[in-house]
A and B are shown apart, each in its own frame.
Chain A
Amino acid sequence: KQEVTQIPAALSVPEGENLVLNCSFTDSAIYNLQWFRQDPGKGLTSLLLIQSSQREQTSGRLNASLDKSSGRSTLYIAASQPGDSATYLCAVRNTGNQFYFGTGTSLTVIP
C-alpha cells in the first residue's frame, strides 16, 4: 500500500523567506503527483500537478519537483507572504488509480 509522508508537520518562517516543503512516497508506480493548499475549514485548492514523466512544474512563486525513482517531491515557495499561511498537502495517483494523500505541512508565515 502506498504511504505518503510530509515533513515537517509544521513550519513557521518570517515573511520574505524562501522555503521548501517535502513529500515522500513509498511506491514509485505513480501516474502523477499533485500539490494542494487547504485553508482552515475549507476545501483544497490545487497548486501544481506533475506527471510521472515530468521533473518539475512552476507557477508564479511556486516550483514543484518530482524524483519518481527516489519517491520524493518538493514544493519550493519563494519570497513567502502571510497569505501563504495554510496547510500544504501532496497527493499521488497510483497506477492502480487510487489516490493517496500525505499528512500535510502546516505553514505559518510571520509578518
Chain B
Amino acid sequence: KAGVTQTPRYLIKTRGQQVTLSCSPISGHRSVSWYQQTPGQGLQFLFEYFSETQRNKGNFPGRFSGRQFSNSRSEMNVSTLELGDSALYLCASSLAGVAYEQYFGPGTRLTVT
C-alpha cells in the first residue's frame, strides 16, 4: 500500500506570492491533517479535513487555507507569503475518526525569499 505523498518536495517562492501544496493520503483514508514545522515553533497543527469538510483548525492566520476533494486528496494554499512562512509543511492521513493512527508524508520544504 502506498504511503502519504506530498508534492512538490521543495519549493522556493518570493514574498507576496502565493503557493499551493498537495497531499495524497493513503488509499482508504478519509482524514487529512496539515502541520507546519519550524525550528523555533516546532510542529504546529494547521487544519484537518474529513470527507471534504474542515473538521478542525489551528491558530493560523486566514492566509492559510485548505480544501479536500472527493477522492480525499487535499491541497493547502498560503497567500501573500511572508519570510516567516518558510518551513517544512507536513501532511498526515488517518482512516477516519479520532481514534485512528496518523501517518505522515515526507513533507514539502518551502523557502520564502
A binds B: yes
Within 8 A of B (CB), among A78-111: 89, 91, 93, 96-104
- B45 near A34: Cβ-Cβ < 8 Å: no
- B33 near A42: Cβ-Cβ < 8 Å: no
A40-54 toward B: CB 8 Å interface, digit per residue (1/0)?
001111100101000
Once A89-B43, A98-B45, A103-B42 are accepted as A-B contacts, the answer to whether A44 and B33 lie under 8 Å apart by CB is no
Instruction: State the interface size on chain B (CB cutoff 8 A).
Output: 23
* Complex Cα–Cα for A49 and B100 (A): 8
- A98 near B99: Cβ-Cβ < 8 Å: no
Interface status of B20 (Cβ within 8 A of chain A):
no
Q: Which residue of A lies closest to B47 (CB)?
A: A98
Interface status of A32 (Cβ within 8 A of chain B):
yes
- B45 near A46: Cβ-Cβ < 8 Å: no
* Complex Cα–Cα for A13 and B30 (A): 40
- A98 near B106: Cβ-Cβ < 8 Å: no
- B58 near A34: Cβ-Cβ < 8 Å: no
Interface status of B81 (Cβ within 8 A of chain A):
no
- A46 near B102: Cβ-Cβ < 8 Å: yes
- A99 near B45: Cβ-Cβ < 8 Å: yes
Once A43-B90, A101-B43, A103-B42 are accepted as A-B contacts, the answer to whether A34 and B106 lie under 8 Å apart by CB is no
Complex contacts, A36 vs chain B, CB 8 Å = 104
* Complex Cα–Cα for A30 and B1 (A): 30
- B106 near A42: Cβ-Cβ < 8 Å: yes
- A46 near B103: Cβ-Cβ < 8 Å: yes
Q: Which of A31, A44, A46, A51 contacts B90 (CB 8 A)?
A: A44
Complex contacts, A44 vs chain B, CB 8 Å = 90, 92, 104
Complex contacts, B42 vs chain A, CB 8 Å = 101-104
Q: List 6 A-B contacts (CB under 8 A).
A: A31-B99, A44-B104, A45-B104, A46-B101, A99-B33, A101-B43
- Interface set of A (CB-CB < 8 Å, partner B): 31-32, 34, 36, 42-46, 49, 51, 89, 91, 93, 96-104
- Interface set of B (CB-CB < 8 Å, partner A): 4, 33, 35, 42-45, 48, 55-56, 58, 90, 92, 98-107
